[in-house]
């Protein structure tokens, strides 16, 4: 790996640690985030030529602290500086080895994730702020990933930071009695980031690898901090197993290739094996949870060398468990497909009927898409074609639209 690439990877790893350290000591999330961005830019310019310093984290904290000091010395920030001067820690003292050892970087990274995923923020703000502050993506990169103007994304991030300031959210780990619920929010945000990258909800591309890669990287970091948490391990295993299929999910023109038709020799076997091993270990000792069950289902798919070798009975049983502990419409849709593969398409269609009156599925393309697939299995070509067309009209992703239109055309 080249020196610039090593420096780039190290900066992305250190960015949340440095931001967390500054916010913990100084407060003012917004200003600390700006200072860290300046420090990262300075490192990106200097390190490839001058070499990576012996203590890169300390180097970044020193530079970012000096940026903050410069800000507080300015006339614009005079009043704020006077109000906080007594609480400020001098830069030299702040980055001393003793101070750095007293507050391990790992604690700050996890605390920063909890802050970015605070329930006081909207889900969209949680995702954007996590990618910006913890993931190290620029506002422009996040905007491109979600297909919105950069100015729109900048406003979203600014509102999130203002919300943190206005509500006085403290930079600390949540109390013990709140920690499980807050961790669920963190995992859900990472899950949303991954899903948006794996199947983009809109636009011309089926998937956005920068988002799936970032979600996996961040989930690995959380797993490193909480190695005994079953749901953290389950989410990481689920991401690894799902992302392993990515090379086979689209054709030369970017067209969608469904799971049953994928060339499994193109799957990332190393990544799939890592996911299988992780979920196998986790299920042996951790209390069961939704992410673990989803990972176990993905592992069953990964273990089948061909689509026809899939153990659908095991998958059906796992979806039954998932439906009991975490019921939602998407689980029911997948449960219906598994039931159809085991007991025939009519069994799956019967499971879809209650979803017609579920407000959460109103206007969603997945319900008519699954219904069309099961109707096609049942030999009802006319009804299947009608549902494929309906699903295509509802889909907002161009590759999915084209795939569904193609399925409908085949049934003419």
Kindly state the average pLDDT of the residues 27-45.
87
Which of 13-22, 33-42, 381-390 has the largest mean confidence?
381-390
Residues 6+ apart with CB under 8 A from 129: 116, 121, 157, 160, 161
Spatial distance between the Cα atoms of 338 and 20, rounded to a whole number of angstroms: 44
- The per-residue pLDDT for 31 is 87
Torsion of CA 376, 378, 382, 386, to 10 degrees: -50
The DSSP call for residue 287 is: P
pLDDT computed for residue 80 by the predictor: 53
pLDDT at 96 over 80: no
Say how far apart CA 210 and CA 12 lie, in whole Å. 13
State the residue for tokens 């990287």: 217
What's the pLDDT at 293?
Answer: 97
Q: Pick the residue with more confidence: 394 or 211?
A: 394
Quick: pLDDT tens for 116-138: 989 889 888 898 998 888 887 78
pLDDT at 349 over 80: yes
Q: Which residues contact 391 (CB under 8 A, 6 or more apart)?
A: 365, 366, 367, 368, 369, 372, 404
The residue with tokens 């009927």 is 353
The answer for residues whose C-beta is within 8 angstroms of residue 66's C-beta and 6 or more apart is 91
- For the chain, the domains span 1-103, 311-412
What proportion of the chain, given as a percentage, has pLDDT over 70? Answer: 91
Q: From CA 349, how far away is CA 378, in angstroms rounded?
A: 10
- Is pLDDT of 331 > 60? yes
Torsion of CA 317, 350, 302, 245, to 10 degrees: -150
* Residue from 249, 234, 135 nearest 199 by CA: 249
Whether the pLDDT of residue 274 is over 60: the answer is yes
Average pLDDT estimate for 325-336: 94
Higher-pLDDT residue of 309, 137: 309
What one-character-per-residue DSSP string does 297-348 give?
HHHHHHH-SSGGG--HHHHHHHHHHHHHHS--HHHHHHHHHHHHHHH-HHHH
d(CA 249, CA 199): 10
User: What is the C-alpha separation between 245 and 260, in angstroms, rounded?
Assistant: 11
pLDDT at 82: 52
pLDDT of residue 104: 45
Hey, what CATH class is 311-412 in?
Answer: mainly alpha
Residue whose token pair is 């604690």: 107
The pLDDT assigned to 87 comes to 47
- Name 397's bridge partners: 203
CA of residue 315 relative to chain centroid, distance: 24
Note the pLDDT of residue 256.
Answer: 93
What is the pLDDT, as a whole number, of residue 154?
A: 92
DSSP characters over 341-373: HHH-HHHHHHHHGGGGG-GGGTT-SHHHHHHHH
- Share the mean pLDDT of the chain: 87
pLDDT at residue 260 in the model: 94
Q: Taking phi first (over 0 means left), then psi (-120 to 50 degrees means alpha), and beta for anything else, what does residue 348 get?
A: alpha
Work out the average pLDDT over 299-328: 96
Condensed to tens digits (0 to 9), the pLDDT of residues 24-34 reads 888 888 888 88
pLDDT of residue 220: 93
Structural contact between residues 15 and 136, judged by C-beta atoms closer than 8 angstroms: yes
Centre a 10 Å sphere on the Cβ of residue 201 and count the other Cβ atoms it contains: 12
Percentage with pLDDT > 90 across the chain: 49
Classify residue 147 by its DSSP letter: T
Task: Return the structure tokens found at 230.
Answer: 């079953």
Q: How confident is the model at residue 337 (pLDDT cuts 50, 70, 90)?
A: very high
Q: pLDDT tens digit string along 183-217?
A: 999 999 999 889 888 887 777 777 888 889 889 99
Residue 95 has what pLDDT? 41
- Residue 212 is encoded by which pair of tokens? 């799936």
Cα–Cα distance measured from residue 227 to residue 219, given in angstroms and rounded to the nearest whole number: 11
């Amino acid at each position: 790996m080249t020196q610039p690439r090593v420096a780039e990877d190290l900066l992305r790893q250190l960015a949340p640690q440095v931001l967390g350290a500054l916010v913990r000591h100084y407060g003012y999330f917004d200003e600390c985030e700006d200072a860290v961005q300046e420090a990262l830019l300075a490192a990106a310019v200097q390190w490839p030529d001058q070499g990576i310093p012996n203590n890169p984290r300390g180097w970044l904290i020193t530079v970012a602290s000096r940026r903050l000091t410069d800000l507080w010395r300015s006339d614009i920030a005079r009043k704020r500086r006077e109000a906080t001067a007594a609480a400020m820690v001098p830069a030299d003292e702040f980055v001393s080895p003793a101070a750095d050892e007293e507050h391990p970087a790992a604690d700050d990274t996890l605390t920063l994730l909890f802050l970015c995923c605070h329930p006081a923020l909207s889900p969209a703000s949680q995702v954007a702020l996590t990618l910006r502050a913890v993931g190290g993506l620029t506002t422009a990169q996040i905007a491109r990933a979600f297909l919105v103007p950069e100015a729109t994304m900048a406003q979203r991030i600014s509102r999130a930071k203002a919300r943190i300031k206005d509500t006085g959210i403290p930079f600390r780990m949540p109390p013990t009695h709140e920690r499980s619920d807050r961790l669920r929010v963190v995992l859900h945000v990472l899950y949303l980031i991954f899903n948006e990258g794996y199947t983009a909800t809109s636009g011309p591309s089926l998937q956005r690898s920068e988002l799936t890669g970032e979600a996996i990287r961040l989930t690995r970091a959380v797993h490193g901090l909480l190695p005994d948490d079953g749901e953290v391990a389950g989410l990481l295993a689920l991401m690894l197993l799902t992302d392993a299929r990515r090379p086979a999910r689209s054709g030369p023109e970017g067209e969608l290739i469904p799971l049953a038709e994928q060339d499994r020799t193109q799957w990332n076997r190393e990544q799939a094996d890592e996911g299988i091993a992780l979920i196998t270990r986790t299920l042996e000792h951790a209390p069961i949870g939704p992410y673990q069950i989803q990972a176990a289902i993905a592992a069953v798919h990964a273990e089948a060398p061909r689509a026809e070798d899939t153990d659908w009975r095991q998958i059906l049983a796992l979806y039954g468990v998932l439906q009991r502990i975490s019921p939602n419409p998407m689980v029911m849709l997948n449960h219906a497909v598994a039931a159809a593969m085991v007991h025939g398409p009519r069994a799956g269609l019967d499971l879809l009927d209650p979803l017609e009156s579920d407000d959460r599925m109103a206007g969603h393309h997945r319900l008519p898409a699954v219904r069309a697939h099961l109707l096609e299995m049942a030999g009802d070509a006319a009804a299947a074609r009608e549902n494929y067309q309906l699903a295509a009209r509802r889909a907002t992703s161009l590759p999915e639209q084209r795939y569904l239109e193609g399925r409908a055309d085949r049934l003419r």
